[in-house]
A and B are shown apart, each in its own frame.
Chain A
Amino acid sequence: MDVAIIHQKVIWIILGMGMVTYIPRWFPLVLLSRRNLPKWLVEWLNLIPAAILSALLLPELVTNGLPRHLSLWQPELWVAIPTFIFALKTKSLGGTVVIGMALFWLVQTIM
């Protein structure tokens, strides 16, 4: 393909991606705010952050590769344990990030 045509395609892809990414971000905010939601929905939405964070985090810690497979002997998991304890004790976001990075770096350097 001609270079100019490829880059025209890239621009269309970027525009399309932008649109389909923005709509799910925008729609619930405009639809659901300024409105009295039923109690069960508020309770359900309250549980969502804990669910999402755990669903994002845990596979990162115990799986690896493409296609994904279980991998329990990786620094991601073992560094997570002291990082978790540190976060639990201090409740400091910045501190946890620094400690997590330092431990991960240490483990990677040793291994």
Chain B
Amino acid sequence: MQNSGIKTSILQGLTAAWPICLGYIPIGIAFGVLAQKAGLYPIEIMLMSILVYAGSSQFIAVSMLSTGAGAVSIVITTFAVNLRHLLMSSSLAVFMGNTTRKKLSLFAYGVTDESFAVNHTRFSQKIWSLDKALVVNHTANITWVVSSIIGGYGGRFIHAGTFGIDYALTAMFICLLIFQLKGRYYVITAVIAGGAAVILSLIIPGSSYIILASIFAATTVLGIKKWMLR
């Protein structure tokens, strides 16, 4: 019985993970190509994809490296770009229940924008377990690491834009957003966050607009909710 449980977890995890993988392949390859052009060895590309595992910050780090930026400023920028995961992990923590710190630490490693969205949707539908979420995280992770290594070796030969693959993650986010619109307050939150994000992204450079707009929207809507229920 134990065995078939594991089998189900793996199967359901893989089913949930494939749209993420489809999106990670071209981005991972693109990252590998850029990293190689910036002078990184394939082993370093692999090491970065394994140890950092956060797409946009890896792109930024590589472009900073090629302009000769210092180590400290690259690490600080990475911290700022990836701070949004703090909100995602907080939001996922609600579903963790009784589990070991070891397993939580392993799960934390794989929290990305995409795995967060896929796992959170399923956790809140009460059809998910930590084991299935771990399958999603690690499938996506392996895809990312392998794609970036492929990019590092021979990405020059793969043409960008093939089959609209650049749009895979955007389309995925559209659908995942719809899954999250579970009522009036969620819709209002999304509208405020989206509007604020567009405005902030035009004013402030970098990606801090994501975290700022999200906190602003959730806080505002919670305030409205409390005020209306008074």
Contact = CB atoms under 8 A, between A and B. Distances in A.
B214 A48 contact: yes
B98 A34 contact: yes
Contact of B19 (A43, A67, A93): A93
A3 B190 CA distance: 48
Contacts of B194: 54-55, 57-58
A31 B93 CA distance: 8
A62 B209 CA distance: 15
Contact of A50 (B82, B107, B177): B177
Interface residues of B, number: 103
Contact of B193 (A17, A22, A52, A106): A52
A40 B52 contact: no
Interface stretch (B4-12, B139-147, B149-157, B161-169): B161-169
Contacts of A84: 174, 178
B7 to A, nearest CB: 21
Contacts of B104: 26, 29-30, 33
Q: Which residue, of A40, A56, A105, has the highest number of chain B Cβ atoms within 10 A?
A: A56
Q: Which applies to chain A's interface (DSSP): helix, strand, loop or mixed?
A: helix
Size category of the binding interface on chain A: 35 or more
Interface in B178-217: 178-181, 185-187, 189-198, 201-202, 205, 209-210, 213-215, 217
B71 A100 contact: no
B177 A45 contact: no
Contact of A13 (B61, B116, B198, B214): B61
B210 A56 contact: yes
| 4 cross-chain pairs, A with B, having the tightest CB-CB distances, nearest first | A100-B171, A105-B164, A18-B51, A33-B96
Interface of B: 18-19, 22-23, 39-41, 44, 47-48, 51-54, 57-58, 61, 65, 71, 74-76, 78-79, 82-94, 96-99, 101, 104-105, 107-109, 111, 113, 116-118, 120-121, 124, 161-168, 170-181, 185-187, 189-198, 201-202, 205, 209-210, 213-215, 217-219, 221-222, 225-226
Interface of A: 6-7, 9-18, 20-22, 24-34, 37, 40, 42-63, 67-70, 76, 79-80, 83-84, 87-88, 91-94, 96-97, 99-106, 108
